[in-house]
Amino acid sequence: MLYSVINEFPVNLLYPKLTHHSMFDVQKIRELFPILHQNVYGKPLVYFDNAATTQKPLAVIDAVSGYYKTINSNIHRGVHYLSQKATLSYEEARKNVCDFIGAAHAHEIIFTRGTTESINLVAGSFGKKFIGKDDEIILTGMEHHSNIVPWQILCEEKQAKIRVIPVKDNGELDLSVFESMINTKTRLVAVTHVSNALGTINPVKKIAATAHRYNIPLLLDGAQAVSHMKVDVRDLDCDFYCFSGHKIFAPMGIGVLYGKEAILNEMPPYQGGGEMIREVRFEKTTYNELPFKFEAGTPNVGDVIGLDVALKFFNQTGISEISSYEKELLLYAEQRMNTINDLRLIGTAKEKAGVISFLIGNIHPYDAGTIMDKLGIAVRTGHHCAQPLMERFGIPGTIRASFAFYNTKEEIDRFINAIFKVKEIFE
């Protein structure tokens, strides 16, 4: 077994013994997240902004710190002790990410800075080779800007076109028009797995089956999915899957692009520089094999190790237990909110994960969010980097509460009380 720096930490720190959902001990879980135990404006913090970024368990914080304390070194080409240990930890993390998302091969895992860079990599590499004049890319009306703008830039350069699957009033995709949009010029379908603004879980297996009937590759933006459900890229049969570490309890600045081996081998390098080369001559440079062809420059070793520990922590807690508990939180919050006059939920899809978007009467989301903040409640307000979606609903933005497995029903009760306080102030 490859040596990893995380083995230097006590087992009970990395993988605390947690009960199954029938005895889900959320208080024990919360003890592992130092940031949650503080006051904001004299009130205990309620952190409901998990769709923006999740908090980090002590195991992850200590793993990153431990890397810099004990084996900080550049990797892959060093023959000395620290470099060898760092290299082994880095590549073991790649294997663990491969297992976590059910990929076939570790070399199908590309480390990036996050979901945004992963999508830009596909746009800059796949798009460069396979998208041409008058070709079409299919997106949806609920995409994050990071799954819109890279394709717009590509289409402007290539004189290609974007087509958009519409969103129904309840926040679900209107797939009845999807297949009619596909034609001989369609080159890619790019879809969010879970909407960051609505929480809608999209039927991505059905979308994959439709796309592949026409031999069209599918990219999934999984930024909001990986922390709420089991992701198996081979079961989903997507061609690309992108996610960010900081959405699943890992550090910021590290992300993953999964791509099927065959398609990655056909794609040209995204950036040039160290690591992605085999040999450099002024006459010609030859490129490295997967995954290194797409990892130019000095890698973010410390945060890769942090990601590795976060995914192990997540697995040890239990993905099915986490998913079940979060569904309880979501249902509890929605039931309580549905009893409040003048409160409008934006996005009422049958299948949702971890997000409630809403408006309170005619109160501006920013004003409501500011008052909630003074009460110790952290929510997100605005368009959530989904302006076309807000325009589709005819609103400037929403208040968004997003949950993680360390949140509680008691926190939801405080959140509901804060909504009533907002209403009281504006009446």
Q: pLDDT tens-digit profile of 83-125?
A: 999 999 999 999 999 999 999 999 999 999 999 999 999 999 9
* 8 Å CB contact between 35 and 60: no
User: What torsion, rounded to 10 degrees, do the Cα atoms 264, 268, 271, 274 define?
Assistant: 80
- The active-site residue, picked from 98, 238, 242, 385, is 385
What superfamily does domain 28-58+319-426 belong to in CATH? Answer: Aspartate Aminotransferase, domain 1 (3.90.1150.10)
Q: Which tokens belong to 266?
A: 């056909």
Q: Rounded CA gap, 401 and 287, in Å?
A: 45
The pLDDT > 90 percentage for the chain reads 89
**Catalytic residue status for 385:** yes
pLDDT, residue 18, reads 34
Q: Which residues of the chain does CATH 3.90.1150.10 include? A: 28-58+319-426
Q: Is 316:18 a contact under the CB 8 Å cutoff?
A: yes
Phi, psi of 334 (to 5 degrees): -65, -40
Six-digit token string for 424: 């009281």
Q: Is pLDDT at 289 greater than 90 in this prediction?
A: no
Identify whether the C-beta of residue 261 lies closer than 8 Å to the C-beta of residue 108. Answer: yes
- Residue 76 phi/psi, 5-degree rounding, is 75, -45
Question: Residue 23's pLDDT band (boundaries 50, 70, 90)?
Answer: low
Say if CB 119 and CB 152 are below 8 A apart: no
Tell me the C-alpha distance between 207 and 186, whole Å.
Answer: 14
Nearest to 122 by CA among 133, 134, 110, 132: 110
Sequence-separated (6 or more) residues with CB below 8 Å from residue 260: 108, 239, 240
pLDDT at 2: 33
CATH 3.40.640.10 residue window(s) in the chain:
67-315
- Which stretches of 250-342 are DSSP H helices? 261-266, 301-317, 319-337
Q: What is the DSSP string of 320-340?
A: HHHHHHHHHHHHHHHHHHTTS
CB 245 within 8 A of CB 306: yes
- Which fold, 67-315? Aspartate Aminotransferase; domain 2 (3.40.640)
Q: Compute CA distances 139 → 142, 146, 207, 308, 394, whole Å.
A: 9, 12, 11, 31, 20
Percent of the chain with pLDDT over 70: 95
User: Model confidence over 354-374: pLDDT tens digits?
Assistant: 999 999 999 999 999 999 999
3-state DSSP helix/strand/coil percent for the chain, to nearest 5? Answer: 45, 15, 40
Q: For residue 317, what are the contacts with CB-CB under 8 A and spacing of at least 6?
A: 18, 29, 405
Number of Cβ atoms within 10 Å of the Cβ of 169:
10
Q: Closest by alpha carbon to 104, among 234, 2, 243, 289?
A: 234
Banded pLDDT at 60 (limits 50, 70, 90): very high
DSSP class of residue 194? B
**Average pLDDT across the chain, whole number:** 93
Given this model, what pLDDT does residue 242 score? 98
Tokens of 371: 């008052």
Mean pLDDT over residues 211-234, rounded? 98
pLDDT band at 78 (very low <50, low <70, confident <90, very high): confident
Q: Which of 165, 263, 156, 172 is nearest to 210 (CA)?
A: 165
- Whether the pLDDT of residue 13 is over 60: the answer is no
Confidence grade of residue 11 (pLDDT, cut at 50, 70, 90): very low
